[in-house]
Amino acid sequence: MSLRDALHQRQKRGKRALLLASERMKARIQDTVTGSRRDFRAQPTSLPVSAHDDPEQARDITPPGKARTGIVSVNGQDVGKVRCTGH
C-alpha cells in the first residue's frame, strides 16, 4: 500500500468516525430535549388560582357578629390603641 492509499484510507475512516459521532450527538440532543419536555409537562405550569380576586379581600372577611381584635399584647404587656405606621 502506497502512502497515498494509506492517507486515503485514513481520510475515509476519519470521515466515517465524524459522521458516527455527529449521529450520536444528534441522538443525545434529541433524548435531552424529549426528557426536558417530559419533565416540564410533569410540573404544574401555573400557580393555583384563588377563589378571591384580591388576596387582601379574603383576609378582611370576618364572620357576622365577630370583630377583628388585632394585637392585644406585646411581650406579655397589654397594648392600648396603637396605630401602626408601617415603619
User: What are 24-77's pLDDT values in tens digits?
Assistant: 999 999 999 998 888 777 666 565 656 556 655 555 555 666 665 666 777 777
pLDDT at 30: 94
Tell me the C-alpha distance between 19 and 77, whole Å.
80
Q: Note whether 62 and 68 are within 8 A (CB).
A: yes
Residue 18: phi and psi, rounded to 5, are -65, -40
Q: Give the model's pLDDT for residue 11.
A: 96
**Which helix (H) or strand (E) element contains residue 34?**
helix 3-42
Q: Residue 40 has what pLDDT?
A: 77
